[in-house]
Amino acid sequence: MIVDRNIKPQNILISKPNNSGASARSLATSQYRMLISDFGLCRKLESDQTSFLPTVHSGGGMAAGTVGWRAPEILRGEVKLDEAILDISSGGTPNSGVGGDGSGYGNGILRPGNIRMERFEREVNILQNVKNLDRSEPLGEEGTEAGDLITMMLDPDPKERPDTTACLIHPFFWTPARRLGFLQERSDRFQIMCRAPREPQLVALETGAPDVVGPDWHKRLDKVFDDNLGKFVKYDSRSVQDLLRALRNKKHHYQDLPDNVKRSLGVLPEGFLSYFTKRFLRLFLHVYGVVSADPLRRNDAMFRSYFDSGGD
């Protein structure tokens, strides 16, 4: 394992694949390549090693890393910690500026133009855990999930940050098919849960429902789909569970839907999922949070693959 200790935007390189002679299909499916450069401060950990000392430059007394992009525990002078977790915080810092041109910890609002002061003000914000992730909002539903992951990566307590495996299995990296499958399977499971009295997960699912689906989720749907939705089943437009049930039912009977309803919903899986998630930005993470907060349900054989590194 290599701990970089100096992750920042300037050290993250993005290259486009060589498209010379490539077919139209390969161009459409090509992916950008990301590389990390400048390993001058990196340290190698053995397979059974999780930390090393010291965390400062030998003899210099200066904390490792670049001013404005360092983890809070480095700034606090803490040295006995899991060094591998430093890169989680440092990786979250440049990502906190996604959608903008800087860091979620600010770019010198008090003294714009003074680069030196901007960087030190940013470090004050890092120490005080003052950050703004609003720049992810223009990204829509993906921005909501990105903001959730970045918030966890930037937790001021290194023990509370996710490790690299947990970061990589976060829903932000899931495919549309995987996200849609999770919501559909979760809806099926909610349907068979006890309602008298209601199981804790059903209570948790409806907790904060107005913030997730609004006072009447029917009003967020277009008329074509909403008219079709009410023909066969009646739904409680204040309920998160009923919105999931509507999603599940239309996904299950998608091929039987009229063409105009299909066009409204979009193609499976990406368009269909986006129809719901762009109207209800918090829906997916809300359902995911309800399940992940319950260790018994999380370890359910049906859903275990969504919470471990062995999933798709």
Structure confidence at residue 235 (pLDDT):
94
Structure confidence at residue 308 (pLDDT):
77
Q: How many CB atoms lie within 10 A of CB 131?
A: 21
Contact 82, 158 (CB under 8 A): yes
Q: Which amino acid is at 301?
A: A
Nearest CA among 158, 218, 208 for reference residue 3: 158
- Indicate the pLDDT class of residue 46, thresholds 50, 70 and 90: low
Structure confidence at residue 121 (pLDDT):
76
Residue 11 Cα distances to 65, 69, 129, angstroms: 12, 11, 23
Residue 75 Cα distances to 48, 86, 104, 163, angstroms: 26, 11, 17, 21
Most confident range (mean pLDDT) of 108-122, 123-137, 211-225, 287-301 is 211-225
Calculate mean pLDDT across residues 80-89.
51
Nearest CA among 242, 224, 252, 231 for reference residue 280: 242
Contact 184, 272 (CB under 8 A): no
pTM of the shown model = 0.72
Q: Is 147 left (phi over 0), alpha (psi -120 to 50) or beta?
A: alpha
Complete domains list, the chain, with CATH: 54-172 (1.10.510.10), 175-307 (1.20.1440.180)
Mean residue pLDDT across the chain: 75
pLDDT tens-digit series, residues 124-167: 777 777 776 665 555 667 788 888 888 888 888 888 888 888 88
Structure confidence at residue 146 (pLDDT):
85
Nearest CA among 209, 204, 254 for reference residue 228: 254
Q: 48-61: buried (b, 16+ CB within 10 Å) or exposed (e) per residue?
A: eeebeeebeeeeee
Calculate mean pLDDT across residues 90-97.
49
Retrieve residue 308's tokens. Answer: 């471990």
Q: How many CB atoms lie within 10 A of CB 289?
A: 15
pLDDT tens-digit series, residues 222-272: 999 999 998 878 999 999 999 999 999 999 999 999 999 999 999 999 999
Burial of residue 294 (number of CB atoms within 10 Å: 0-12, 13-18, 19+)? middle
